[in-house]
C-alpha cells in the first residue's frame, strides 16, 4: 500500500509542483531556512516577494548578521508575527559566529540555533540537504489524517500518533523521503485543502480512507479562525508600521496617532518593547532595535 501511495504522490508532485524559488536547484540552505521561518502561519503568496527581497539584500547568514536587528524587522514588512524577523537575525548571528557562516545540516544542530524549533530544523535538513527526517506541518497532518486514518481533519494539536504515522509513511530511499515530505505538503496546499478539497483531482482518491468512508463531515469541536480587526496583533502591526516607514526614531505622538484606544495602544507598545521589537530612547522617542 505504501509503495502505491509513494508512486502516486511523487509522480503527481513531479508534474504539479509550484515553481517556488526556495525549491529551485540553485537555492541555498540559507534560502530554505529563511523560507521555512517566513512560511510559518503565512501564505506563500505573501511570503514570496518578501523572501526574494531578503535574499537579494542578505544572500548569506553573515550578511543578515552584520545588519542591525531593526533592519530585519523593517524589511519583514507585513508578514505578521515580526518576532520571527528577530529570530532569523539571531539564528544568522549564531551561524556566522559558531558555524563559519554555513547553515548546518544536522537537524539536532539546527534546532540548537536561536528560534529554530523541531519542525523547522527537520524541514531545513530535508529540503536543503536531503537528510532523512520526518517533517509534519498542518498540510501533512490533514492529508495523512484523511488518507490513512479516515478523519476529515487532524487533531487540534500535533499528537505522537501523527508523528509516528508520518515516520511510517516515509519511503525507504532517503532522496524519495525528502521529496515525499514536500510532496505531501504540496498535496495538502493545492488539493487536500481544509475547507474545499478538490478530491476529483486527487492522485490518491481511490486509496483515501476518508473518501472510501463516504467523506464524513467533521463533527468535532468548532475550529475558530483567527480574528484580526481590533486585536492586539493589529495594533502592534500599526505601531511597527509607523516605525518601519519613518526609517528613524519617532516621537510618541506619532505612535499615539496609529491607534485611538489609549489603553490598548499602550499595552501593545509595552509588549513590543518587551519583545525587543521596539527600543525606547533616552530622549523619549522610539526606534526599531539597532
Catalytic residue among 3, 36, 53, 98: 36
144 counts as catalytic: no
Long-range contacts of 228-237 (CB under 8 A, 24+ apart): 232/264, 232/267, 232/268, 232/271, 233/80, 235/259, 235/261, 235/264, 235/265, 235/268, 236/82, 236/268, 236/271, 236/272, 237/78, 237/80
Alpha helices in 78-207 (DSSP H): 83-98, 107-111, 118-129, 138-144, 160-169, 174-190
CA 74, CA 241: separation in Å to the nearest integer? 8
Sign of the CA dihedral with 57 first, then 63, 65, and 67 last:
negative
Rg of the chain, C-alpha, whole Å: 21
Pair 181, 135: CB distance under 8 Å: yes
- The neighbouring-strand residues paired with 287 are 279
Residues carrying an active site annotation: 36
Amino acid at each position: 500500500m505504501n509503495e502505491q501511495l509513494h508512486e502516486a504522490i511523487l509522480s503527481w508532485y513531479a508534474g504539479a509542483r509550484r515553481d517556488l524559488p526556495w525549491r529551485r536547484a540553485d537555492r541555498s540552505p540559507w534560502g530554505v531556512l529563511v523560507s521555512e521561518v517566513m512560511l510559518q502561519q503565512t501564505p506563500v503568496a505573501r511570503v514570496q516577494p518578501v523572501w526574494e527581497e531578503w535574499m537579494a539584500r542578505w544572500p548569506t547568514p553573515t550578511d543578515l548578521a552584520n545588519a542591525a536587528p531593526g533592519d530585519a524587522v523593517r524589511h519583514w514588512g507585513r508578514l505578521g508575527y515580526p518576532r520571527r524577523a528577530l529570530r532569523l537575525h539571531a539564528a544568522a548571528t549564531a551561524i556566522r559566529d559558531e558555524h563559519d557562516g554555513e547553515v548546518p545540516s544536522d537537524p539536532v544542530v539546527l534546532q540548537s540555533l536561536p528560534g529554530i524549533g523541531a519542525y523547522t530544523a527537520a524541514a531545513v535538513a530535508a529540503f536543503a540537504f536531503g537528510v532523512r527526517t520526518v517533517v509534519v506541518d498542518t498540510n501533512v497532518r490533514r492529508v495523512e489524517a484523511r488518507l490513512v486514518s479516515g478523519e476529515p481533519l487532524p487533531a487540534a494539536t500535533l499528537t505522537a500518533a501523527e508523528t509516528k504515522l508520518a515516520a511510517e509513511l516515509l519511503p525507504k530511499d532517503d532522496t524519495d523521503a525528502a521529496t515525499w515530505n514536500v510532496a505531501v505538503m504540496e498535496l495538502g496546499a493545492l488539493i487536500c485543502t481544509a475547507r474545499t478539497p478538490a478530491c476529483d483531482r486527487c492522485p490518491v482518491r481511490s486509496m483515501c480512507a476518508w473518501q472510501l468512508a463516504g467523506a464524513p463531515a467533521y463533527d468535532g469541536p468548532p475550529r475558530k479562525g483567527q480574528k484580526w480587526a481590533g486585536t492586539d496583533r493589529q495594533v502592534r502591526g500599526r505601531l511597527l508600521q509607523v516605525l518601519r516607514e519613518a526609517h528613524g526614531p519617532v516621537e510618541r505622538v506619532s505612535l499615539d496617532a496609529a491607534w485611538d484606544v489609549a489603553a490598548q495602544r499602550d499595552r501593545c507598545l509595552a509588549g513590543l518593547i518587551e519583545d525587543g521589537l521596539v527600543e525606547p530612547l533616552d530622549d523619549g522617542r522610539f526606534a526599531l532595535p539597532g
